[in-house]
Amino acid sequence: MLTYLDMKTTNKKLKVGVIGLGHQSLEDHIPAIKASQDVDLVGVVEIDKEKLNSFIKENKNIKGYNNFDDLLKNQKLDFVIIAVPHYIHYEITKKALENKIHVLKEKPFAVSLSEAKELKSIAEKNKTQITTTLQRRFNPIYSTFFQLIDKIGKPFYIEAKYTFFIKEPYKGWRGKKESSGGCLIDMGYHIIDLLMWYFGLPYKVFAEMSSGAKENIVYDAEDTAQVIFQYEKRNLWGSLLISRVIPPKQEHFNVYGTRGIIHIERGKIERYSSKGQLQESLKREYSWPSAAQDQLEYFVKVIHNEKENISSPEFHFNHLAFIEAAYKSRDIQQYVNPKDLLNL
């Protein structure tokens, strides 16, 4: 790993294209690009003509295209940001890598472990970098966890929850399993990333899931998932609840140790005594836009070989092994070791 003083500097701005003009691009990625001094947005792709025309009207210096092929033909790109529905991630990512274009993409890294391994192989063959947007890693609230974990003794239980209420979870591409995969691999990916980042891959996973929150309506993408997991030789286990239909909106990650408790939520991390008394707290406002820009500029340094790719394909093998183990355990009604799936 290079130190800060070892890093080379460059005045060349990298040319980036954005694929998909949904909420993530308009609220996070494009504002981050505009705020950065390291990149130039030279083109966007959006199949919705009305949405594309509206964007071009407000951003006259940026070219708009209806498909990725036209962007490739007309612009020389250093990297692309891919923010499209899960079921079309793969083909766009593959095409970018094969054209020797680096990729910063929305989660999940892939929809299956086998697909993830294939993308890794293509990236290596074409000497390109590929990483997944996980903004919590660039938010000091979440990285502060590593400064607090030794203060709570030996962790013995993890309780994670991410829920909100959607009136019609069956509508759109997220309501179909073939296009979204379900809430666990979709919104749950963020919380699973925290679990992998903080503690690594468990050795036992068991899950139950459902898509029955709406009467007389049939849809197959799970809207609620509960996962029980256990770590080997640590006397550590936990539970994860993900839901698109359970109010209110909540997101927290709690770790219970022999000497205290760590509580993390958006914008705040707290350490409590074993009795529940608050010991210390860190809060941060306006953190998400900053995290998006921090992530973007970190990826620029990855491209320049100045930083390690901390969200590399190999790391996401663990995420997908955990998710596939959860789905398999639901089907066979038994615990599954996700580490066994890594070697298949």
Given a cut of 90, whether residue 284 has pLDDT beyond it is no
Query: What is the structure's pLDDT at 2?
Result: 46
Q: What is the pTM of this model?
A: 0.92
pLDDT digits (tens, 9 = 90+) for 154-172: 999 999 999 999 999 999 9
Given a cut of 50, whether residue 4 has pLDDT beyond it is no
pLDDT digits (tens, 9 = 90+) for 106-116: 999 999 999 99
Its CATH architecture, for the domain 14-133+291-309, is 3-Layer(aba) Sandwich (3.40)
Nearest 5°: the CA angle 127, 131, 137 is 145
Given a cut of 50, whether residue 7 has pLDDT beyond it is no
Residues 6 or more apart whose Cβ sits within 8 Å of residue 137: 143, 193, 197, 295, 310, 311
- pLDDT-derived band at 11, boundaries 50, 70, 90: low
Q: What is the mean pLDDT of residues 68-82?
A: 97
Distances (CA, A) of 130 to 58, 123, 183, 225, 308: 30, 7, 24, 29, 12
- pLDDT-derived band at 179, boundaries 50, 70, 90: confident
What is the per-residue DSSP string for 78-111? SEEEE-S-GGGHHHHHHHHHHTT-EEEEPSPS-S
Strand partners, 95: none
Query: What is the structure's pLDDT at 251?
Result: 96
Q: What is the mean pLDDT of residues 84-103?
A: 96
Enumerate the CATH 3.30.360.10 domain ranges in the chain, comma separated.
Answer: 137-285+319-342
Residue 72 in tokens: 């490739």
The C-alpha atoms of residue 129 and residue 127 are separated, in whole angstroms, by: 7
- Average per-residue pLDDT in the chain? 93
Residue 79 in tokens: 């990297």
Q: What is the mean pLDDT of residues 269-288?
A: 89
* CA Rg value for the chain: 21
Nearest 5°: the CA angle 209, 235, 134 is 55
Three-state secondary-structure class, residue 121: helix
- pLDDT-derived band at 8, boundaries 50, 70, 90: very low
Enumerate the CATH 3.40.50.720 domain ranges in the chain, comma separated.
Answer: 14-133+291-309
Query: What is the structure's pLDDT at 182?
Result: 93
Query: What is the structure's pLDDT at 12?
Result: 84
Residues 6 or more apart whose Cβ sits within 8 Å of residue 4: none
Q: Which long-range contacts (CB under 8 A, 24 or more apart) does 274-283 make?
A: 279/151, 280/148, 282/140, 282/141, 282/144, 283/141
Amino acid identity, residue 44? V
Query: What is the structure's pLDDT at 233?
Result: 82
The C-alpha atoms of residue 20 and residue 12 are separated, in whole angstroms, by: 25
- pLDDT-derived band at 306, boundaries 50, 70, 90: very high
- For domain 137-285+319-342, the question of CATH label 3.30.360.10 is answered with yes
Query: What is the structure's pLDDT at 1?
Result: 47
Query: What is the structure's pLDDT at 287?
Result: 54
Proportion of the chain above pLDDT 70, given as a percent: 95
- pLDDT-derived band at 181, boundaries 50, 70, 90: confident
Given a cut of 70, whether residue 6 has pLDDT beyond it is no
Least confident of 69-73, 138-142, 257-261: 138-142
